[in-house]
């Protein structure tokens, strides 16, 4: 009887271990579910900017729920007003179109001047493009694929630097 119980426990624990290994492998194979970026003026394109502004972006991707839960903070921006913040489709050192609003448009709150703290959720309805670069409105999975491939950046736009004052490339855990 005791031997049988030990055997059962052994089977159960090996199943749990297998599931754990499977999950970790799966998450890695899919590029991870957490991404982040440090934002500064030097990352701006085509010309780097020297600004006191800085920021941080982090997000968690939930494939099943089709959501990206994010937090964005920025501070010491030199522009007096902050127009908008977005996720853009574009490799490092290149400019690309807007994919989703973080503040200042869509159903997201207005951006606060010079410094701000925002949390929010991007779902399929928040993906507005860029259609010209292959992400049509609502193509949530296309945006997620781009994020996992390092081909997106967060950008905060001010009145002083309308094309962006601070920027940072989104990257997953373990690389960059
Ligand atoms: Cu933008």
Contact 118, 73 (CB under 8 A): yes
pLDDT band for 10, please (50, 70, 90 cuts): confident
Compute how many other C-beta atoms are within 10 angstroms of the C-beta atom of residue 43: 20
CA of 65 to the centre of ligand 1 (A): 25
Using CA atoms, how far apart are residues 155 and 51, in angstroms rounded to an integer?
14
- What are the pLDDT digits (tens) for 58-68? 999 999 999 99
CA of 27 to the centre of ligand 1 (A): 29
- pLDDT of res. 28: 52
Report helix, strand or coil for 71.
strand
Contact 81, 159 (CB under 8 A): yes
Point out which residues pair with 154 in neighbouring strands: 87, 168
CA of 104 to the centre of ligand 1 (A): 10
- pLDDT of res. 176: 37
pLDDT band for 31, please (50, 70, 90 cuts): low
Point out which residues pair with 67 in neighbouring strands: 62
Q: Record the tokens describing residue 142, joined without a space.
A: 């296309």
Mean pLDDT of 77-82: 98
- What percent of the chain is predicted at pLDDT more than 70? 82
- What percent of the chain is predicted at pLDDT more than 90? 79
Task: State pTM to two decimals.
Answer: 0.82
- pLDDT of res. 23: 55
- pLDDT of res. 8: 74
- pLDDT of res. 120: 98
- pLDDT of res. 15: 58
Q: What is the CATH topology of the domain spanning 33-169? A: Immunoglobulin-like (2.60.40)
Residue 141 predicted with pLDDT over 90: yes
User: What are the boundaries of each domain within the chain?
Assistant: 1-30, 33-169
CA of 30 to the centre of ligand 1 (A): 26
Using CA atoms, how far apart are residues 135 and 143, in angstroms rounded to an integer?
7
CA of 157 to the centre of ligand 1 (A): 6
Contact 130, 166 (CB under 8 A): no
- pLDDT of res. 174: 41
């Amino acid at each position: 009887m005791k031997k049988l119980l030990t055997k059962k426990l052994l089977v159960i624990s090996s199943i749990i271990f297998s599931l754990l290994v499977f999950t970790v492998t799966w998450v890695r194979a899919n590029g991870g579910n957490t991404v982040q970026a440090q934002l500064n003026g030097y990352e701006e394109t085509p010309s780097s900017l020297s600004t006191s502004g800085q920021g941080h972006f982090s997000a968690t991707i939930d494939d099943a729920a089709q959501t990206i839960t994010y937090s964005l903070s920025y501070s010491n921006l030199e522009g007096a007003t902050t127009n908008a913040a977005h996720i853009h489709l574009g490799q490092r050192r290149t400019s690309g179109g807007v994919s989703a609003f973080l503040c200042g448009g869509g159903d997201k709150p207005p951006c606060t001047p010079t410094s701000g703290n925002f949390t929010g959720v991007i779902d399929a309805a928040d993906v507005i493009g860029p259609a010209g670069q292959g992400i049509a409105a609502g193509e949530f999975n296309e945006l997620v694929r781009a994020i996992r491939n390092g081909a997106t950046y967060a950008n905060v736009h001010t009145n002083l630097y309308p094309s962006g004052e601070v920027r940072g490339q989104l990257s997953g855990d373990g690389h960059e």
